[in-house]
Structure 1
Amino acid sequence: MKTINSRAALRAHASAVRIGLSALAISIAVGLSTLPEPALAQDAQVVQFNIQSQPLSKALLQLGEQASLQIFFSQEIVDGYTASSLSGSFAPEDALRRLLAGTGIEFRRTGRNISLSRPASEESTQLAPVRVQGRLQATTEGSGSYGAQGATLMKGMASLKEIPQSVTVITRKQMDDQRLDTIDEVLENTPGIVLWKRPGGGGDIISRGFSTTSIQYDGVPLPRGSYWGNSFAGSSVYLDRVEVLRGAQGLLEGAGNPAGAVNVVRKRGLAYPALAVEARVGSWDNYGGRIETGGALDDDGRLRSRVVLDYEDRGYFVDTVGDHNLNAYAALDLDVAPDTTLGFGVAHSRLKGNRSLRGSLPFFSDGTALDVPRSHRIGARWSDADRKETQLFLDFEHRFNADWSIKVAGVYVNESWDAVTSGWAAALPAPGTRTVPGYGYIYDYDAVAKGVDANLSGRVRTWSVDNDIVLGISYSRQKRNDGYLQWANYISYDIFDPRHDAPGFEGLPPSSAAAARYDTREKGLYGMVRSHLTDRLTLILGARASWYRRLDDSVYGQSEAKESGKLTPYAGVVYDLTPQWSLYASYADVFEPQIARDAQLNTLDPIVGANYEVGIKGELLDGALGTSLAVFRIDQKNRAITDYDSPPLCDGNFCSRAAGEVRSEGIDLEIHGEVLPGWQLSGGYTWNRNEFLADSDPSRVGRPFEYAMPKHLLRLWSNWQLPGNLHRWQVGAGVHYQSERRNSAFRLQGGYSVWDVRLAYQFDKNWSAALNINNVFDKRYYSSIADFPDGYFGEPRNFLLTLRGSF
């Protein structure tokens, strides 16, 4: 267990860093005033290119891959031409002009698609069929778009229109524009997702009324959940994109709630030399900087590298709260052979401070919220926490031919969280009460998670039907060792005038201690066949066999949940109405092992259920804009409910029986991508109704279950690059709206809207600045409320000014 440490040295270090960062920002600003102003390309998105001199057709293919563009042309118009080498930072259209210089070939761009042609007088004899040079790219970095070409969480690249479930991809462009620097912030801006904050700084990811306890890293699922939520550091600075599937994920992960899957996809090594720097300053003494660099480490680009380093020293709107955060990432990718690639990555996060311990505020026992400032905190200023996380990535991919490939990926995560704190606890205060008991805690959490996924994918043709096949095997394990010491009621806090200089509990014996060890293992075999029955109709069939074991060992005793060979079927169908629109339907089984025991001390059977979804998806404006509408229903039964008819045989408490049943149903509506040239839009609306159908407490029937979603949820963000002579400027705006929240007793909070805005300016092709203002109308609200109830205030109006340079 850890002891209380003085933070004086840390504050001195933080002050020095703040002074240094301020000086850096001033120096850069002065330097900018002396820069010339070369004309900007019409496409303000600058991409780093590294293309060797080679036949023009191959050079165009490389340009399409490096800029995430699709380039269409007939082979005849490029035959016989050799492209000059191209290296450096260019707008994609400028780079294309350089490759085509002297050929007489013209091009036209629509969204991410570019078509090549010759003037009419020349191309009248060009009658060969057009073919595509390039392929769908999952990578979003450098695309300049809020829309993604596809996702990889279904084991292989697939366009969103081909996946018969609701899938959202938050791109690198959107993360940069909105300043979504943590995975929590990404998910808070993802349609259909809400977060339930935990006291230890983690949180539960809630979708369609259920919580997901796994995170996928480059498609490898790892169990990350515990009693304290998904308590991972969760920086997004090294990510290319975040893919979120809502609904049943049994085919991908096996056991779990039908909440969905979150796949975080890291950036890879760069084939071209690049350097990006960033300095930022914001509200509440928020200072930070980032440097990112990389490039090929050999002459032919076979060994590619990337390094990202980000430091943040920030206060918070809550009294006496702040953090000092370091995130580092390095990646290497090696082409062992022309068709074989080996990738390695390491990410490390160190979060030092007490922002995770800012503490929720209690409601009164009648559901009334405290009338206090949003900066209010009931706790000691000396509360401190230290979180460390190291992630290791290793993957191997071999392409046998144009149709078949194999991929093996492994992930290892080691995390720890140590904290000492004092704050309020125990029962909710009655109206008119001024004091609450003060509790002290020393926490010591440690966890190691590891996983591997291997899959073979390819295409076979049977009876004139093309079938895309995926066969795979996966394994994951998480071992947690969590514990705390508690000093109960060692002090009293005044609710309205808390003592931040509260004494510590040194020398006092702890009132209680708790320790728990969790060991969760899962392995599975899975397969999926995507049969293209006609040019328009595709049938998807899949199944997963799962072996699951969870062993809990705590002060409450030992419990075990175990399943062997549990089969999870999956079925979906996609029908293309037109090249732009498709209808789909899907069905999936779900199961979740339980550790609750019945009166005979037998572990209950797993929770089981079914997920149904139908919808329509569109890829408009030549794929630049994606839309979707889904209707879903999830039924779940065999949930553990308290068996009050049995004696208290389960560790002194009443046992359980499998009789609970819940239902979640609703509508998802989304849009992502480029609506008009320069106008990016990303958003979604969710209507969700979830309720108990059966429970041991009859008063719960018909009411929302434990992860009560707001019935109405809207996430919307838009960014517009102004046209013509104002093309240096960008303006952005967005809104978060959610309807009221209720628990089984009363309304916790009414509906509210929070608006954010952005203003950006491009000085030249290298330098830009952006000002983000969040909660611009200074709305007072709770961003997270537990059913206890207690809650966390949302951030008041705040700003962040960012200066970026790309070379």
Structure 2
Amino acid sequence: MSHRLPPVFRRSSLATAVLLATLPTLSVAEDVIVLDAVEVSGQRGEPSSESTGSYTVGSTSTATKLDLTARETPQAVSVATRQQMDDFGQDDINDVLDSTTGVTVERAETDRTYYTSRGFDITNFQYDGVGLPMVYGNVLGKIDTAFFDRVEVLRGANGLMTGIGNPSATVNFIRKRPTVDTQASVAATVGSHEYGRLVSDVSGSMSDSGNVRGRLVVGGEGSESYLDRYETTRQMLYGVIEADLTDTTLLTLGHFTQTSDADSPMWGSLPLFYSDGTPTNYTRSTSTSADWAYWNSRYHNTFVELGQQLGGGWQAKLNVTRLEIDSDSKLFYQYGTPDKDTGLGLAAYPSEYDLTKEQWIADLYASGPFSLAGRTHELVVGSNWSYSELDDVSRYGQGIGTPLPPLEQWTGNYPEPSFDARVDGSDWTDKYISSYAAARWSLTDRLSAITGLRMTWLDSHGTNYGDSKDTSYDAVDTPYAGLIYDLNDQHSVYASYTEIFTPQTEEDLSGDRLDPIEGQNYELGLKSEYLDRRLQTTVAVFHTDQKNVATQAGLLANGDAYYEAEDGLSSDGIEMEVVGAIGERIQLTAGYSYVDIEDEANNAARTFVPEHLVRAKGTYDVPAVNGLKVGALVRWQSDISAMVGDVEVKQDSYALVDLMANYRFSDNWTTTLNVYNVTDEKYLSSLYWGGSQSYYGAPVSADLTVKWTY
């Protein structure tokens, strides 16, 4: 069923104001005076973070595609640089986001992960600023960080660049790029639980003139686990070539592949309470998996970029990306509530799954300066197209419901059944077209404004486990507005309003589809720079909400449910962050966030999200020992809880402390020791699934990396 959105959904007043503020520049730009190209390139363009060794970056473009400094961006942004990832052994994206201000990593099971920020699930991910819509709100396996120079996290709604999603955050993976000068590195790591990792990275010119450059990253790792029977392997390959076709034209071709294999993964996790309501307390190594279970996934990401300098400081860029994700698995789930005295009460649920997802994304935009009313401003205009196709088959095994022994006696020895009891699955396509424009207005020497608008057309067809996915939306508008005022050379205050939307397929009593969920983010903040801009701070207060959330209202005569739209959830909070260098020996990133999440009746909601989070990491170059650097990473969260019927499941507040020491033997050789969870804290990894199941986080462990660089 295709329909145009009714007038009640259109944010006409604000959208019209933003449109009038942004789009007229298109007609003005033909006759205006523009900045000299050399001047603009001197002010803009962000070097790779690996080349600086810093915990900060000069600019980001996740919010608007304009290269803006932290003070010029009217939203809270955190960046994990290459140096941060290397210092603390953050080899996958879960580790990176787990130390990012205002983000929680929900490890609901071993090989499927969810992320939240400001109370809502993070479903928006980008590669080099190009959005990749997520079919499901989770990540299979663990995305390796060997490919990336840095990871940018923009908190709040990001409708201008993504359109669809939640008002939570956008995670932007910035890939490594080739270098003109030859450089190479090999890093070997060994650690607890038979952990081993080897990564090589080679980059440099492929022609005498340097107009063709290439980079190759190859790596692999394998590990056993503190969890019974669980083992993983991962292989990574990334290649990228840049070619200067002319003095003003740059062509980039790249591809990365990651293969992740897991033996005896957990599908679901441990029951958290007995039938009498008292909490369980299994050993940390306890796993519900069978010895024949596995979960393998493969990521393939291919991209082509063509960049063209247009003169007058303007540039255009075309990006075409293909993403393919394949997953096959045989999994074993245990469900039920055990008896406290006997441990009995759990039952078997074996299943086999195959999933294939293919996405094509094309993004074309132009950006540059223009003059109006005697002042210089900046503009970006673009269009985005994507096509996603998903095929998901579930084959349920024989023997579902078979009683199982107590988990204390479980060894994983369960006969592998035939998977022919029942077949179900999903098969759908998403087509997405959008156009966007954003302008940065220099209103005075101290006051600037950013206005933008995105128009989105979405068409989906297919089924999801028997439910229709057919829906269509035309010209959905998502505005963006921000003001930044420089108090002086060090401090700026800002205010911003952003939106996003999520399509719904639920129908009301009349059989009409509900309007999309609307997400909005209001934010006020203060950003500051100290110590010659080497130290940056942010203080932000925000209000975020979702409206038009589908809620079941009753049943039709045929037994099907019908729904009505409710206001949904809102969150209010504060975020504070300091990042950068203090003197010549200290680098740090430290953040605190508070969030209060309520439903439409002003009751506490999503209580599995901690109200308070602290994320802090830093290093210190020891003056007494030349070449020695030591550091620590601290993650603390307040208590979380969930209600399962009349049983409350709770995880008390806890802190995790990691330590590191790095010693540089020479210009070419370094070694790094990382120790994780040094206090051996025992904690539940998540209550994301409503509190009925979870498992315990890793105990104390360590790894040692030896790295050679050239």
Residues 139-158 of structure 1: pairs in structure 2 closer than 5 A: 139-153=48-62, 154-158=64-68
Equivalent AA in structure 2 for residue 794 of structure 1: G
Corresponding residue of 1:702? 603
Corresponding residue of 1:195? 105
Corresponding residue of 1:323? 232
Corresponding residue of 1:607? 517
- 3-state DSSP of counterpart to 1:787: coil
* CA distance in structure 1 between the partners assigned to 2:41 and 2:322 by the alignment: 39
Corresponding residue of 1:751? 653
1:303 aligns with 2:215: no
- 3-state DSSP of counterpart to 2:364: strand
Shift of 1:281: 0.3
* CA distance in structure 2 between the partners assigned to 1:419 and 1:331 by the alignment: 31
Shift in CA distance, 439/467, structure 1 to aligned 2, threshold 3 Å: same
1:739 aligns with 2:651: no
Runs of 4+, deviation exceeding 4 Å: 130-136, 365-368, 430-433
* CA distance in structure 1 between the partners assigned to 2:343 and 2:538 by the alignment: 51
The structure that is helix-richer by fraction is 1
Contact 2:265 2:289 in 1 (8 A): no
**Aligned partner of 1:655 among 562, 582, 586:** 562
**Aligned partner of 2:185 among 268, 276, 294:** 276
Shift in CA distance, 530/133, structure 1 to aligned 2, threshold 3 Å: closer
Contact 1:516 1:553 in 2 (8 A): yes
Corresponding residue of 1:241? 150
Shift of 1:653: 4.1
Equivalent AA in structure 2 for residue 766 of structure 1: N
1:496 aligns with 2:408: yes
Corresponding residue of 1:21? none
Corresponding residue of 1:428? 337
Corresponding residue of 2:84? 174
Shift of 1:433: 5.4
* 1:246-280 Cα deviation digits (max 9, x unpaired): 10111110121111211101001121111201111
1:686 aligns with 2:586: no
**Aligned partner of 1:795 among 698, 701, 709:** 698
1:505 aligns with 2:417: yes
Shift of 1:557: 3.2
Shift of 1:747: 4.3
Shift of 1:361: 1.0
* CA distance in structure 2 between the partners assigned to 1:270 and 1:232 by the alignment: 30
Q: In the comparison of the two structures, how many residue pairs are matched?
A: 663
* CA distance in structure 2 between the partners assigned to 1:681 and 1:648 by the alignment: 61
* 1:329-359 Cα deviation digits (max 9, x unpaired): 1110111112211111110111122265365
**Aligned partner of 1:674 among 562, 581, 585:** 581
Equivalent AA in structure 1 for residue 435 of structure 2: L
Shift of 1:672: 1.2
Corresponding residue of 2:27? none
Shift of 1:135: 5.0
Corresponding residue of 1:765? 667
Contact 1:536 1:577 in 2 (8 A): yes
Give RMSD over aligned pairs.
2.0
Greater Rg, structure 1 or structure 2? 1
Corresponding residue of 2:625? 726
Corresponding residue of 1:540? 450
* CA distance in structure 2 between the partners assigned to 1:195 and 1:780 by the alignment: 17
Higher relative contact order (CA 8 A, sep 6+): 2
* 1:742-761 Cα deviation digits (max 9, x unpaired): 22452421111010000111
Equivalent AA in structure 2 for residue 712 of structure 1: H
* CA distance in structure 2 between the partners assigned to 1:459 and 1:232 by the alignment: 42
Contact 1:233 1:387 in 2 (8 A): no
Shift in CA distance, 304/356, structure 1 to aligned 2, threshold 3 Å: farther
Corresponding residue of 1:592? 502
Equivalent AA in structure 2 for residue 496 of structure 1: E
**Aligned partner of 2:546 among 620, 623, 636:** 636
Shift of 1:558: 1.7
TM-score where L is the length of structure 2: 0.90
* 1:347-406 Cα deviation digits (max 9, x unpaired): 011112226536521112666442211011122122112211111011111112252111
Higher mean alpha-carbon deviation, 396-405 vs 712-721, is at: 396-405
State, as a whole percentage, how many aligned pairs show the same letter: 30
* CA distance in structure 2 between the partners assigned to 1:347 and 1:498 by the alignment: 39
* CA distance in structure 2 between the partners assigned to 1:372 and 1:162 by the alignment: 50
Corresponding residue of 1:715? 615
Contact 2:266 2:287 in 1 (8 A): no
Shift in CA distance, 258/368, structure 1 to aligned 2, threshold 3 Å: farther
Corresponding residue of 2:29? none
* CA distance in structure 1 between the partners assigned to 2:135 and 2:684 by the alignment: 24
* CA distance in structure 2 between the partners assigned to 1:500 and 1:396 by the alignment: 52
Equivalent AA in structure 2 for residue 687 of structure 1: Y
- 3-state DSSP of counterpart to 2:600: strand
Residues 376-391 of structure 1: pairs in structure 2 closer than 5 A: 376-391=286-301
* CA distance in structure 1 between the partners assigned to 2:572 and 2:699 by the alignment: 33
Contact 2:268 2:693 in 1 (8 A): no
- 3-state DSSP of counterpart to 1:251: coil
Shift of 1:602: 2.2
* CA distance in structure 1 between the partners assigned to 2:464 and 2:53 by the alignment: 50
Corresponding residue of 1:41? none
* CA distance in structure 2 between the partners assigned to 1:302 and 1:514 by the alignment: 52
* CA distance in structure 1 between the partners assigned to 2:467 and 2:431 by the alignment: 20
Shift in CA distance, 367/742, structure 1 to aligned 2, threshold 3 Å: farther
* CA distance in structure 2 between the partners assigned to 1:134 and 1:729 by the alignment: 35
* CA distance in structure 2 between the partners assigned to 1:555 and 1:691 by the alignment: 31
- 3-state DSSP of counterpart to 2:675: strand
* CA distance in structure 1 between the partners assigned to 2:560 and 2:650 by the alignment: 29
Corresponding residue of 2:199? 290
Shift of 1:193: 0.8
* CA distance in structure 1 between the partners assigned to 2:642 and 2:552 by the alignment: 19
Shift in CA distance, 300/499, structure 1 to aligned 2, threshold 3 Å: same
Corresponding residue of 2:4? none
Shift in CA distance, 708/562, structure 1 to aligned 2, threshold 3 Å: farther
Residues 77-476 of structure 1: pairs in structure 2 closer than 5 A: 135-153=44-62, 154-199=64-109, 201-226=111-136, 229-231=138-140, 233-354=142-263, 356-357=265-266, 359-364=268-273, 368-425=278-335, 427-429=336-338, 431-432=340-341, 434-435=343-344, 436-476=346-386
Shift in CA distance, 156/328, structure 1 to aligned 2, threshold 3 Å: same
Shift of 1:691: 1.1
Shift of 1:447: 0.6
Corresponding residue of 1:3? none
* CA distance in structure 1 between the partners assigned to 2:244 and 2:181 by the alignment: 15
Contact 1:639 1:660 in 2 (8 A): yes
Higher mean alpha-carbon deviation, 358-367 vs 337-346, is at: 358-367
* CA distance in structure 2 between the partners assigned to 1:550 and 1:157 by the alignment: 33
Shift of 1:788: 4.3
- 3-state DSSP of counterpart to 1:160: coil
* CA distance in structure 2 between the partners assigned to 1:179 and 1:240 by the alignment: 14
* CA distance in structure 2 between the partners assigned to 1:637 and 1:432 by the alignment: 46
* 1:598-636 Cα deviation digits (max 9, x unpaired): 233322111124210000111221221111000000122
Shift in CA distance, 233/394, structure 1 to aligned 2, threshold 3 Å: farther
Higher mean alpha-carbon deviation, 311-320 vs 377-386, is at: 377-386
Corresponding residue of 2:35? none
